[in-house]
Structures are given as structure tokens and as C-alpha cells.
Amino acid sequence: MIPYARQWIDDDDIQAVTEILRSDFLTQGPAIPRFEAAVAAYTGAKFAIAMSNATSSLHVGIKALAVGAGDVVWTSPNSFVASANCARYAGAEVDFVDIDPKTYNISIEALERKLESADRAGRLPKVVVAVDFAGQPCDYNALSALRSRYGFRLISDASHAIGAQYSGRRIGSGGLADITIFSFHPVKIITTAEGGMLVTDDAEIATRAELLRSHGITRNSALMRNRSAEPWEYEMLTLGFNYRLTDIQAALGSAQIGRIDRMLGRRREIAARYDRELADLPLVLPFQDASCLSALHLYPVQVRDDAPLSRRELYDALRERKIVCNVHYMPIYLQPYYAERGFSRGYCPNAEAYYERALSLPMYANLTESDQERVLEALRELLDR
Ligand SMILES: *Cc1c(COP(=O)(O)O)cnc(C)c1O
């Protein structure tokens, strides 16, 4: 079976994990700050806080920006539900901005128009969660300009995009967003099984995020309200969570980020081959912004209306050939939970039109040339008239 995504674990990864299992700390040990430092160094962020997954990192990010009941958070409908749910955890309302039909990321024009009318209505968002869909960076210069004009904070949900570059800067590096979130789920660029990270250049956000990750507790006497007399004392300063990563996972993460450029290089080769060999088929291939470098988490195509098979028929026919594609994403607001909150079909027409035709082809760093050949042969056989 050829899946749409999968992890790449090698002997170094296994050895790194085994070493932790034989060491003194399984969690809250030295492997966590080592992994955080590696991600900070790689992305160019000042502060990096490892967490149990990207969903908890998004929740902490939203809380660190003091979002609460009465606030509104906007995001892209073309994302995993976690991009929106983080706001609901904090009691805030969620709204959605349509996507750009070319990049599949949040549409800057739609965002600008929506901000203008929200400003008139006195209902501006406190936070915008932008998503680097498929690993392709959003237009951060335009987002930053709108952030300054309308005073919202920007979270980059870069769950797909560690290693991606915008104008020569790695996603997560200072100033592109207030907070950037990475996911290390096995289908993503690098993995820790479950795992995520929040990176920021803002020391105050970093301090709050670190507290929220671990029960709101600190042992740092500089942060304590009552100067601690006893060496065992800690203080709980806020209502936090247990969103920690383990040392076992962090060691796996450090081993993985050590070869991230090799993994990204393989993704680029695979994408280039798809670009070349699918060009004549009735598919819309993913747009690549020449001024950016995508991390290529996904290779999403759209099945054109003049194709001999519908998207569903193509999905089924590939599945019969043991090639299991996926679809990213049904617009979040069409999920029953959000539909029950008042959203309905037609709300973001570009996201819906994209979803009707989208198919994510197999894309992962250890997809072999012969497996990719099988995918290409199947697509030619099914789509070439
Ligand atoms: C995978 C993903 C998440 C959630 O990541 P977890 O680490 O599984 O919690 C959030 N946002 C996007 C865009 C994702 O693709």
C-alpha cells in the first residue's frame, strides 16, 4: 500500500530513543531543551517551547495572546480543524476568511475586505491564525501590513511548513508572525510521534507559553510572587495544562531535525517529478511561489472538470491499485460542530470549489522512485485519453 504520507524512521532515530530509555529522565529531562534549541537554531526563532502536539501548542498560543470569551479569531477554512478549535477552547468565536484560488492559502484580498467591514462594525479579530497550507508560506508581508493597520496578532499555523522559506527567511524566524506553531505528527515533515512546538521572538509570550505548558507552575524565583524560602517550593501562577513533550519524543525530534534538509530535498525531487510528468494530464498542479520555498508537506492536485474521471472515481480507482490518497481539506465550517454554530454552504466559495476537486497524492521523503512510478503509471492510465 502506498499512503498519502508517512514517517521516515532510521537507525539513528531508534538509537536516540533507546538512549533515553536507558537514561535517568523519560520526561522533563535534558532532551527537551536540546530539541527546543535545535528547532530555534534551525528556524531562526529566539524562543522555542516543545509541547505534546500542535493542537496544544495552538491552544497555548491563543491563551498566551490573552484571547478569551468575547473575542473573535479568524482563520482559513482550508485547514485541519485544530486551527479553529484553539479559539473555541479559549471561549472565543471563530470566523473564516476564504482562500486564494491559486495558492489555497488565506486570501489577502478577502481578508482586507473582511477587516474593513469588521472595523466599521467594531468587531475586529483579536488574532488571525494563518495556515501555510501544504507547506507553501502565506504572504507574510501583506499579513504584517494588515496586522499593523488593524491591530490584530498573527499566529502562523505552520504545522505543514517547518523548513519552508518566505523571502529567504525560514518560517518561524523573527517577525513573520507573533507566534509560529509546528506539528511533529508522523504525516508531517519531521516527527516525534505526537508532538508540537511554539516558537516566538517575544520573551513575554515565551514565558507565558512555558507556564501554560506545565500547569501554570514555575520554579524560577524571578517569576515567583512570594520569594521562595524553601528549595522544594514552586508556585502556580496561572491555570495551565500538562501539555509537555517527553524526553523520548524530544530525542526522536532532535535526530529527525538533524536530517531535515535531506528530507526536504527528497520532497522537492518528488514534487519536481510530479510537476514534470503530470503536466499533460487534466489536473491542476500545486502553485509554487517563486519567491518562497515550500516544505511540500502535501502535493495537492485538483481533478479538472474535463478529466475522464471525477475526483471520487479517481480516488476509488487509485485505491483499488493500493494507492491511498487523501483530501485536504473539507472547509472547517462545514463540519457539523461549526455548521451548528451558524455556518453553511456558500460561505467561502473558493475553499468549497477547491475541496470539490482536491486530491493529495502520495508525498513523503522516503517515497521510493519505483513507488512514485507506480503512482504516475496509474494516473496516466486513468487520466490520459
Ligand atoms: C496536523 C495539523 C494540526 C494538528 O497537529 P497535531 O500535532 O496533530 O495536534 C494543526 N494544524 C494543521 C494545519 C495541521 O495540519
Q: State pLDDT tens for residues 252-288.
A: 999 999 999 999 999 999 999 999 999 999 999 999 8
Taking residues 216-228, what's their average pLDDT? 88
**Residue 45 CB: number of other CB atoms within 10 A?**
25
- How far is residue 242's CA from residue 260's CA, in Å, rounded to a whole number? 28
C-alpha cell at position 272: 519536481
In the predicted structure, residue 1 carries a pLDDT above the cut 70: yes
- Residue 17 neighbours by CB under 8 Å, 6+ apart: 248, 251, 252
Taking residues 32-43, what's their average pLDDT? 98
- How far is residue 201's CA from residue 204's CA, in Å, rounded to a whole number? 9
- Residue 316 neighbours by CB under 8 Å, 6+ apart: none
Mutate to test the pocket of ligand 1, among 56, 75, 80 (most ligand atoms within 8 A of CB): 80
- How far is residue 196's CA from residue 55's CA, in Å, rounded to a whole number? 8
Task: For ligand 1, atom 6, name the residue with the nearest CA.
Answer: 54
Q: Is the minimum distance from the CB of 79 to ligand 1 under 6 angstroms?
A: yes
Q: Is the minimum distance from the CB of 378 to ligand 1 under 6 angstroms?
A: no
| pLDDT-derived band at 30, boundaries 50, 70, 90 | very high
Cα-Cα-Cα-Cα torsion 52, 57, 58, 62, nearest 10 degrees, comes to 130
Task: For ligand 1, atom 10, name the residue with the nearest CA.
Answer: 82
For the entire predicted model, the pTM comes to 0.98
Q: Tell which residue, 250, 235, 185, 243, has the closest CA to residue 209.
A: 243
pLDDT at residue 308 in the model: 97
pLDDT at residue 231 in the model: 84
Q: Tell which residue, 91, 96, 55, has the closest CA to residue 71.
A: 91
- How far is residue 148's CA from residue 15's CA, in Å, rounded to a whole number? 47
Question: How close is the Cα of 159 to the center of ligand 1, in Å?
Answer: 5
Which residue matches cell numbers 529522565?
A: 25
Mutate to test the pocket of ligand 1, among 4, 52, 156, 159 (most ligand atoms within 8 A of CB): 159
Q: Which of 62-76, 227-241, 271-285, 288-302 has the lowest mean pLDDT?
A: 227-241
Helices then strands, counting H and E runs in the chain, come out as 13, 17
Q: Tell which residue, 175, 131, 190, has the closest CA to residue 156.
A: 131
Mutate to test the pocket of ligand 1, among 51, 83, 171 (most ligand atoms within 8 A of CB): 83
Q: Is the minimum distance from the CB of 129 to ligand 1 under 6 angstroms?
A: no
Q: Is the minimum distance from the CB of 157 to ligand 1 under 6 angstroms?
A: yes
| pLDDT-derived band at 227, boundaries 50, 70, 90 | confident
What is the number of residues in the chain?
Answer: 385
Average pLDDT, the chain: 97
Which has more pLDDT, 159 or 289? Answer: 159
pLDDT at residue 228 in the model: 67
Q: Tell which residue, 161, 134, 101, 164, has the closest CA to residue 4.
A: 134
| pLDDT-derived band at 351, boundaries 50, 70, 90 | very high
Which residue matches cell numbers 526536504?
A: 264
Sequence-ordered alpha helix ranges (H) in 105-244: 108-121, 140-150, 203-213
Q: Is the minimum distance from the CB of 185 to ligand 1 under 6 angstroms?
A: yes
Q: Is the minimum distance from the CB of 297 to ligand 1 under 6 angstroms?
A: no
In the predicted structure, residue 221 carries a pLDDT above the cut 90: no
In the predicted structure, residue 385 carries a pLDDT above the cut 80: no
Q: Is the minimum distance from the CB of 53 to ligand 1 under 6 angstroms?
A: yes
Taking residues 130-144, what's their average pLDDT? 98
- How far is residue 61's CA from residue 245's CA, in Å, rounded to a whole number? 16
Question: How close is the Cα of 146 to the center of ligand 1, in Å?
Answer: 25
- How far is residue 350's CA from residue 254's CA, in Å, rounded to a whole number? 39
Taking residues 331-348, what's their average pLDDT? 98
The answer to whether the beta carbons of residues 326 and 299 sit under 8 Å apart is no
- Kindly list the distances between the CA atom of residue 217 and the CA atoms of 65, 204, 208, 210, 220, in Å, as whole numbers in the listed order: 18, 16, 10, 9, 9
pLDDT at residue 175 in the model: 82
Q: Is the minimum distance from the CB of 135 to ligand 1 under 6 angstroms?
A: no
- Residue 263 neighbours by CB under 8 Å, 6+ apart: 8, 189, 190, 256, 365
Closest ligand 1 atom to Cα of 160: 15
- % the chain with pLDDT above 70: 100
Question: How close is the Cα of 143 to the center of ligand 1, in Å?
Answer: 21
According to DSSP, the β-strands at 72-75 and 93-96 are parallel
Q: Is the minimum distance from the CB of 83 to ligand 1 under 6 angstroms?
A: yes
- % the chain with pLDDT above 90: 95
Q: Is the minimum distance from the CB of 159 to ligand 1 under 6 angstroms?
A: yes
